[in-house]
Structure 1
Amino acid sequence: MTVRAAIVVTGTEVLTGRIQDLNGPWLADRLLELGVELAYVTQCGDRADDIEAQLRFLAAEGVDLIITSGGLGPTADDLTVATVARFAGRELVLDGPLEARIAEILRTLLAGRSGVDFEAVMAANRKQAMVPAGAQILDPVGTAPGVVVPGSPTIVVLPGPPRELQPMWSRAVETAGVQQAIAGRTEYRQETVRMFGLAESGLAETLREAESGIDGFAELEVTTCLRRGELEIVTRYEPQAAGAYAALVDLLRSRYPRELFSEDGALIDDQVAALLAGRRFATAESCTAGLLAARLADRAGSSAYLAGGVVSYSNAAKVSLLGVDAALIAEYGAVSEPVARAMAEGALARFDADTAVGITGIAGPGGGSAEKPVGTVCFSVAVSGRPTLAHTLRIPGDRSDVRERSTTVAMHLLRSELLALSAG
């Protein structure tokens, strides 16, 4: 029988978007590693009734384990422990050893500070030593302890700051309460396949065929997501369904030999970084604001050398910094394949590189024409020893979408040229 878990992220600052939730995704990965099925992730503000409503709902849904994050501080809006105790029907009691441990931490934090009334500070923090009767205490990483409340469901109460939650989680898993709750766990495998140049709708028909044609397909949990212009296909399955997953990958490989670029989950950035090993590369960008150079630099590390990059929006900058012929811009326009090619070759020469990418386009808003609307982007890849590639696309979306997708397109064009080079 599958063990099911839920995560409750508390905090009005998270609910309103002032702080991004990092704990939910991190805990989701940890549960997958444990072989526990994550059924729900919920968010609520710092209100006792709302927190308890989440717990009631999840218990009614039959989850075996609930993990909460946040609401363990000393202030009045930190209500999680008291709410969990009430929900579990347990009295809140003062734990003496825990109180002493919190006092020790506070003395260390306040050492050397003049004019601080330690007893007043300790009185405020004594609340953190109040725990549900019978709970298993998780020693604080900051000043807030966590607790594990055994039961049906078992509830793990963790602090909100990720730097405190993450080390505390490993301790929580080792407790008797959590071990009992996850005793029936299974093993999950999760694999990721990535495609480029294929719409999600185009994949849907293939997955329908797989559903009727592959034995055991029902045991695969397949999710698809369009991310940065790439199609990400994530499949989770138990070991006995490995054959069905292999058949699915075979089908995708045979149906989409050009579009399928990653079978092991590797990102295009990592693939390009590996292909750039030992090379000296440069960039010339006019509509992507240096995003391509940043992505390449982040991944290349010491295996390749980013010699330099130019962000040249104005025609004058293209001429002076990259050596683009002004007559070329006048004849074809700044957003054109000839200018993109001249930008890439200019970066190649200016930085004494062996590989360069040029991007020029209209990200909008307020630009473009009937002939070249917003989203028109011209790309060029120049690799020493090969003819310079130039390509034009019309990319949908707002300014951010056009920039982000343009960098992804450039990555794939660069990958294609480097693969052709390595193939001789």
Structure 2
Amino acid sequence: MSARAGIVVTGTEVLTGRVQDRNGPWLADRLLELGVELAHITICGDRPSDIEAQLRFLAGEGVDLIITSGGLGPTADDMTVATVAKFCERDLVLDAPLEATIADILKNMMSRSKSWGGADFESVMAANRKQAMVPAGAEILGPVGTAPGVVVPGSAGSLPTVVVLPGPPRELQPMWDKAIRTEAVQLALAGRTEFVQATTRMFGLPESALAETLRDGEARIADFDRLEITTCLRRGELEIVTRYEPDAAPVYDDLLALLRERHSAQLFSVDGALVDDQVAALLAGRTVATAESCTAGMVAARLTDRAGSSDYVAGGVVSYSNQAKMDLLGVDAQLLAAHGAVSEPVAEAMAAGALARFGADTAVAITGIAGPGGGSAEKPVGTVCFSVRLADGPTLTKTLLLPGDRADVRERSTTVAMHLLRQLLSAPGDAD
């Protein structure tokens, strides 16, 4: 059985949703990479009794390692270290070298910033001294900001090892590398099983169809139960993450063969690559321009969210009104009058306009009704027209009715546009 871990995310601001938890998912990915089985992620407010309850719950679940995030600041509501000390049955002691380190950090910060407003150093240090209080026998993780982390070794058969990390991701993430190298964490994870993790991605396949294929795989493939398969519908794509021990690689190969046999048209990635990465590679040596209405520039944002994007992204136009489509993209007024802004002819004209305006050789155009309101019986909310075009080749145009609210329609539309672009660039001769 693999080593098991639990995560406790602390912070009333996270519990109430004012701040989105980024640490739990990030730590979960790091644990999976290490081959550690994640048992639970819990979120609680900054109350010592609630933090302690989460620690005791995870200990009762038999985890080998607990990781906490948050509650390490100098204010009265930052109680994580003190609570962990109580849970681990250790005294809270002042670490003099750590206190000196924090003092040096504060002096440097106060000398470089005017935001302290002439505050007295001794007063500031008094407020921050609690950050130098650590559980006796804990290993200190040097601060990235002003808050140090600590690793409190567990006791065999009694208490798990506890890693206490700060809340800000920019501090937590670099500190994680220090934490996993400590002797206490290495001992806690000594029983972990090494896993391989593989990710495949599909587009245009309902979850129910994938579920049927996986049921068939369970019946057809020997040792299928050695694969731990997780599926997730994300941005209109199906993501299939499979974990297995290295000697079960032939079982995974059989699964991959079945997916290719059943869903070759929808299977676009077997190495975990995102469609964004694939499109970026296909655009090498080309230039692309965008023309968008209902997606508010989101396609352009996805295209530019890659290293080297300035080499292939020529520019983009966001044009909601008919006048903007005419003035910025050269769409003919009679075409708009005859077909309406949300139509395939107008989408094609917008793509042609983007090519001409930016001197690009590839264009993506989207025009649609994202809602709320504004739809009609003929063109309800969610109606979106796409056109992708090569200056020296074919044009691929289609209309879809996408479900969901405005955010859903926008997000799904950008994903559809990326896949149409991938399709056009992958096989230009077959895209007519």
TM-score, normalised by the number of residues in structure 1: 0.95
Separation in structure 1 between the aligned mates of residue 407 and residue 102 of structure 2, nearest angstrom = 47
Separation in structure 1 between the aligned mates of residue 139 and residue 392 of structure 2, nearest angstrom = 67
Query: In structure 2, what is the equivalent of residue 252 of structure 1?
Result: 259
Check whether the contact 2:290–2:315 (CA below 8 A) recurs between aligned residues: yes
Check whether the contact 1:196–1:230 (CA below 8 A) recurs between aligned residues: yes
Count of residues paired in the alignment:
424
Structure 2 residue 378 is matched with structure 1 residue 393 = no
Query: In structure 2, what is the equivalent of residue 59 of structure 1?
Result: 59
Give runs of aligned pairs for residues 45-194 of structure 1, distance below 5 A: 45-111=45-111, 115-151=118-154, 152-194=159-201
**How far apart are residue 61 of structure 1 and its match?**
0.2
SS in 2 for 1:68: strand
C-alpha deviations, 1:250-297, integer Å up to 9, x for none? 100110111001111111111111111111221111211111122112
SS in 2 for 1:357: strand
C-alpha deviations, 1:273-329, integer Å up to 9, x for none? 111111122111121111112211223725742222222211222222222222222
Check whether the contact 1:377–1:406 (CA below 8 A) recurs between aligned residues: yes
Tell me: CA distance 1:129–1:319, structure 2 relative to 1, closer, same or farther (3 Å): closer
SS in 1 for 2:306: helix
Query: In structure 1, what is the equivalent of residue 26 of structure 2?
Result: 26
Deviates more, 1:262-271 or 1:379-388: 379-388
Tell me: CA distance 1:284–1:300, structure 2 relative to 1, closer, same or farther (3 Å): farther
Structure 2 residue 340 is matched with structure 1 residue 333 = yes
Separation in structure 2 between the aligned mates of residue 372 and residue 114 of structure 1, nearest angstrom = 59
Check whether the contact 1:277–1:300 (CA below 8 A) recurs between aligned residues: no
Deviates more, 1:270-279 or 1:51-60: 270-279
Consecutive unaligned residues in structure 1, runs of 5 or more: none
Consecutive unaligned residues in structure 2, runs of 5 or more: none
Query: In structure 2, what is the equivalent of residue 284 of structure 1?
Result: 291
Separation in structure 2 between the aligned mates of residue 364 and residue 190 of structure 1, nearest angstrom = 39
Tell me: CA distance 1:422–1:25, structure 2 relative to 1, closer, same or farther (3 Å): farther
Check whether the contact 2:394–2:429 (CA below 8 A) recurs between aligned residues: no
C-alpha deviations, 1:80-139, integer Å up to 9, x for none? 111111111112122222223323333333347785333332222222222212222222
Give runs of aligned pairs for residues 409-424 of structure 1, distance below 5 A: 409-421=416-428
SS in 2 for 1:299: coil
SS in 2 for 1:209: helix
Tell me: CA distance 1:178–1:323, structure 2 relative to 1, closer, same or farther (3 Å): same
**How far apart are residue 423 of structure 1 and its match?**
7.9
Separation in structure 1 between the aligned mates of residue 122 and residue 295 of structure 2, nearest angstrom = 56
Separation in structure 2 between the aligned mates of residue 124 and residue 303 of structure 1, nearest angstrom = 47
Separation in structure 1 between the aligned mates of residue 360 and residue 103 of structure 2, nearest angstrom = 60
Separation in structure 2 between the aligned mates of residue 387 and residue 422 of structure 1, nearest angstrom = 7
Letter in 1 for 2:208: S
C-alpha deviations, 1:126-154, integer Å up to 9, x for none? 22222212222222222222211111201
**How far apart are residue 390 of structure 1 and its match?**
1.7
| Alpha-carbon RMSD | 1.9
Separation in structure 2 between the aligned mates of residue 105 and residue 332 of structure 1, nearest angstrom = 65
